Structure 1
């Protein structure tokens, strides 16, 4: 069944750096980066989903949450086509010590997926930032 997936993503910043996880698409060999967050469940607002996902993925609390914008993402990855509506939220991490290290940890339910700070200028065609359009939204 083909569906449009609704996501909420957190984009905390450390100067020019963005908190992201590093992923790998085994179907094309490409490494990519994406902010943390995930699917919005039925009956849940995008902001509620954001808080829940950040607790589940990194065991962190957020403050200063504000909607930056909404992106529509049509893509092909992991040998399938996808369509997402992505709510992008600026926010701060409640734990100030997370800003002091470049590698923050791993996603809790996937110990092989590292979470790190990366400069916005460090994303390109060989190391893209997803979803498409996010770099432009963050540059405004």
Structure 2
């Protein structure tokens, strides 16, 4: 069954850097980067989902959360079509020591998926930042 998935993504900044994970789509042999976050559950606001997802993925707390914008993302990945409504939030990490490390760690429930700071200007067609339109939103 196909459906539209609502997600919330956290975009902490360290100067010109954004916090992202590096993913790999084996079906297309394609490396990509995306901010942390995930699905919004029924009865949960996008901001509540953001806090929950960052606890689950990196065991971090967020402060200064504010909505930057909403993107609609239609894509093909992992051998399937996808359609997402993406709530993009600016935020800060409560643990300030995470700003001092380039490699922050791995996603807790997906060992081997690294989380790192990357310069916003360092993404391109060979190392894209997803979802589409995110770099433009962050560059405004």
Tell me whether the two structures share a fold, i.e. TM-score over 0.5.
Answer: yes
Q: TM-score, normalised by structure 2?
A: 1.00
Deviation at 1:112, TM superposition (A): 1.0
- Which residue does 2:61 correspond to in 1? 61
For 1:37-56, what aligned pairs fall within 5 Å after superposition? 37-56=37-56
Would you say how many aligned residue pairs link Structure 1 and Structure 2? 140
Whole-angstrom distance in 1 between the partners of 2:59 and 2:79: 30
- Which residue does 1:116 correspond to in 2? 116
**1:87-140: CA deviations, max 9, x gaps?**
000000000000000000000001110000000011000000000000000000
- Which residue does 1:127 correspond to in 2? 127
Deviation at 1:71, TM superposition (A): 0.1
Structure 2: which 5+ runs fail to align? none
Moved over 6 A (4+): none
Whole-angstrom distance in 2 between the partners of 1:111 and 1:83: 26
Whole-angstrom distance in 2 between the partners of 1:110 and 1:135: 25
Structure 1: which 5+ runs fail to align? none
What RMSD, in angstroms, separates the aligned Cα atoms of the two structures?
A: 0.3
Q: TM-score, normalised by structure 1?
A: 1.00
Whole-angstrom distance in 2 between the partners of 1:94 and 1:14: 13
- Which residue does 1:107 correspond to in 2? 107
- Which residue does 1:4 correspond to in 2? 4
Whole-angstrom distance in 2 between the partners of 1:77 and 1:95: 33
Indicate the SS of the match to 2:115: strand
Deviation at 1:57, TM superposition (A): 0.1
